[in-house]
Structure 1
Amino acid sequence: MDPIGRRPSALPSLPTAAPAETRPAAAPVKAAATNAVSQLQRSSFEAPVAKAAAAQPMPGAWRGGPDTPVGKAIAGMVERMRASDASGIKIKGDTMESLFTRAILDNKHVSNDQLLAITQVKLDQLATSPEDRAKVLQKVPNARELPVHKFTVGMLAAATGIDPKALSEACPDLGLTGAPGTPLLYAAKTERMQRSTALHDFTDYLRGAGVKGMNKAVWGVENRILSAAVSALGGGRY
């Protein structure tokens, strides 16, 4: 027995609690949450837009699927047409793609074989002779700078796959009303005539390059002069 007056032994020391974890600052948590919400909102917005773009039908899709020869040819034409349209040149409200789609791709008088033949046309089949080039530039020195020339060159180059700069150099008369070998050669003032000329040059130059039936498909007659008259009078199948 312990003697009277002895102090009780000291209580054993309790284990010290581990320090609480340091909480992350509130600002980074808020920023992370904000970023997550923004990303979710952006995804929710972009998904329908991307889906809508993917669902948009390719012009002329009724002619053949994307894996068919004509489908691939049309996709290449339209892709180049849209790249050319980035220049912003329009004639009477038409872009190169819209005029090409309405007058050529949606025209049931234009066959798939003709579209495939267009992609095989080479520059030398379209080129104006050096003598006629000189006549063109003598009458219209700024021919290559005209919006109607750039529009016509862009549409024809996109359809054939020919380099537009080379085509402009070889055919300064593209987009001009009339012909180099005649007294009638000028830059049309009205947009109606400019659009008519651009489309007729498109069909007639291809006819001259060996793609038969292009004038008839669009204007109703194949002859160069008669089809040009129909074009000038505002006729045609488009």
Structure 2
Amino acid sequence: MTSVRRPPSAAPSAATTRTQAPAAQPARTNQVTQVSRAEVLNRAELARIRSTQAPVAPTPGSWRGGANTEVGRAIQTMRSRLSDVNISIKGDTPQSLFDRAILDNKHVTNEQILEMSKVTLEQLATDPKDRAKVLEKVPNARELPVHKFTVAMLSAVTGIDRAKLSEACPDLGLTGAPGTPLLYAAKTERMQRSTALHDFTDYMRGAGVKGMNKAVWGVENRILSAIVSAAGGGRY
């Protein structure tokens, strides 16, 4: 019997293969489209979150020099010494007033900041006779919040121990001056804050740091700058 051989099956032609391949493309296209949409949504959400976040405020005084510069290191040290002071007068702490009136004051130079950091207790100390007069007029002078406020600022800048500074300068924070009829503890917080800042600048002037009254009050003279301070003026 003659066997009938079946012709071998023809292999799929290259043309057929090429025409069949695109059948899988729609799935890949959908996947790419979904990924693209997800990326767009993620970016939109990220942009929305960023737009609602408050901008980060620069560190006060950072414009004066980087953390590795001499003035930058001095500023970091000064501000760190105020981090534990919680006294507040007229909405200001010693740190916020120091930041605004001194560190971010364009009229205060880097040289003045470095000079202030080297002031000693002996340069600031009130004459012993005047200390007695201060305590005679205001016996609780060292206990007043405005005194502690002022001491904190001067201590932070100079590195002088607060207790020693308070002992040597009981008149810090009092309105007026020892040896004059005008020496009292101000009643209003506005005047207390103004006095604290003026004592800071004027004591630095007295210690030899020239131009501090002028930088903050617009005039260097002790009495005239005190008048500007009392009137609510200033360049800060």
In the superposition, the TM-score normalised over structure 2's length comes to 0.76
* Mapping of residues 57-68 of structure 1, within 5 Å: 57-68=58-69
Sequence identity (%): 76
Query: Which of the residues 125, 128, 134 maps onto 2:126?
Result: 128
Q: 1:107 to 1:56 in 2, by over 3 A?
A: closer
Counterpart in 2 of 1:162? Answer: 160
Counterpart in 2 of 1:70? Answer: 71
* 2:111 matches 1:113: yes
Counterpart in 2 of 1:237? Answer: 235
Counterpart in 2 of 1:189? Answer: 187
Q: Secondary structure at the match of 1:148?
A: helix
Instruction: List alignment gaps of at least 5 residues for structure 1.
Output: 1-51
* Mapping of residues 9-48 of structure 1, within 5 Å: none
How far apart, CA to CA, are the structure 2 residues paired with 1:76 and 1:107? 18
Counterpart in 2 of 1:81? Answer: 82
> Which runs of structure 1 show a deviation greater than 4 angstroms over 4 or more consecutive aligned residues?
none
Residue 56 (structure 1) shift: 6.2
Counterpart in 1 of 2:44? Answer: none
How far apart, CA to CA, are the structure 2 residues paired with 1:236 and 1:57? 23
Counterpart in 2 of 1:211? Answer: 209
Residue 94 (structure 1) shift: 0.1
The answer to whether the Cα contact below 8 Å between 1:58 and 1:75 also exists between their aligned partners in 2 is no
Query: Which of the residues 220, 226, 238 maps onto 2:218?
Result: 220
Query: Which of the residues 163, 167, 170 maps onto 1:172?
Result: 170
Residue 202 (structure 1) shift: 0.2
In the superposition, the TM-score normalised over structure 1's length comes to 0.75
Amino acid at match of 1:128: T
Query: Which of the residues 94, 97, 116 maps onto 2:95?
Result: 97
The answer to whether the Cα contact below 8 Å between 1:81 and 1:159 also exists between their aligned partners in 2 is no
Q: Secondary structure at the match of 1:151?
A: helix
Deviations 1:145-164 (A, max 9, x none): 00000000011100111100
Deviations 1:21-54 (A, max 9, x none): xxxxxxxxxxxxxxxxxxxxxxxxxxxxxxx9xx
Equivalent pairs, count: 182
Q: 1:68 to 1:146 in 2, by over 3 A?
A: same
Amino acid at match of 1:199: L
Deviations 1:169-204 (A, max 9, x none): 000000000001100000000000000000000000
The answer to whether the Cα contact below 8 Å between 1:119 and 1:159 also exists between their aligned partners in 2 is yes
Query: Which of the residues 192, 196, 199 maps onto 1:198?
Result: 196
Deviations 1:65-90 (A, max 9, x none): 0000000000000000112x2xx210
How far apart, CA to CA, are the structure 2 residues paired with 1:58 and 1:230? 29
Amino acid at match of 1:68: T
How far apart, CA to CA, are the structure 1 residues paired with 2:140 and 2:223? 25
